[in-house]
Amino acid sequence: MDTSFNNPHLPMLYFPENSWKKLFAYADIASGEISGLGKITLHENGTDFIVNDIFLLEQVSGVGSTNLNPDSVAKFITDLIVAGENPADVKLWFHSHGNIDVFWSSTDNTTIQGFSDASYMLSIVVNKRFQHKARLDLFKPIRLTLELEVILENNFLGIDRIEIEKEVTQKVKILPTPSSRVIKPISNMLNNSKRGKR
């Protein structure tokens, strides 16, 4: 881990390709709203979060609502412990709004507040149109909600990048940057105008 912390920035939520494809496949295939949980690791830069895996739990889903069943959550956590995993890594709540826009409803805010036994929780809401919105909720030592930038890793699987690169090089001509657009430093311009007066 980098202990010098020389690159301070707002945290980002990073989805490896398999995680976001699974998430949007759940959203795409479910007819209504669905929700589930995800495992998070902290990036070695000490600021960003990586979504390792996401899990769909047994639930009752309606057109405008989705609720995590407490029994399903308890069973999920027990299974994790039995599998030798750390339930404290479960720090992501995801849900889909189906065909509706992505936003935080009052029900969503209540659900997130329900995670306040943890020090923090990450949440993402998606829909069938690949839209997404994510946030970090810090519960201790202060209460803070922060909008998160989401990074979806894309390895362009199934695409021949070498062929695409050839085509782009062949068809796209790059214009040279005009030198007149280079802005002169202000001090230079002032000196020039003084000289002009003399």
Which residues contact Zn ion (rule: CB under 5 A)? 105, 108
Q: Which residue's CB is nearer to Zn ion, number 90 or number 126?
A: 126
Q: Which residue's CB is nearer to Zn ion, number 5 or number 103?
A: 103
Check: CB of residue 33 under 8 Å from CB of residue 54: no
Tell me the CB-side half-sphere exposure of residue 104, using CA atoms within 13 A: 18
Cα-Cα-Cα-Cα dihedral sign, residues 38, 112, 128, 33: positive
- List residues bridging with 40 in a β-sheet: 51
Q: Which residue's CB is nearer to Zn ion, number 16 or number 32?
A: 32
The residue sitting closest to Zn ion, measured at its beta carbon, is 108
User: Minimum Å distance from CB 64 to Zn ion?
Assistant: 9
User: Minimum Å distance from CB 33 to Zn ion?
Assistant: 7
Give the DSSP letter string of 30-61.
-SS-EEEEEEEEE-TTSS-EEEEEEEE--EEE
Neighbours of 109 (CB within 10 A): 13
Check: CB of residue 30 under 8 Å from CB of residue 97: no
Q: Which residue's CB is nearer to Zn ion, number 43 or number 129?
A: 129
User: Minimum Å distance from CB 159 to Zn ion?
Assistant: 33
Q: Which residue's CB is nearer to Zn ion, number 42 or number 56?
A: 56
User: Minimum Å distance from CB 125 to Zn ion?
Assistant: 5
Q: Which amino acid is at 60?
A: V
- Residue 115 sits at the vertex; the CA angle it makes with 140 and 8, to the nearest 5 degrees, is 45
User: Minimum Å distance from CB 108 to Zn ion?
Assistant: 4
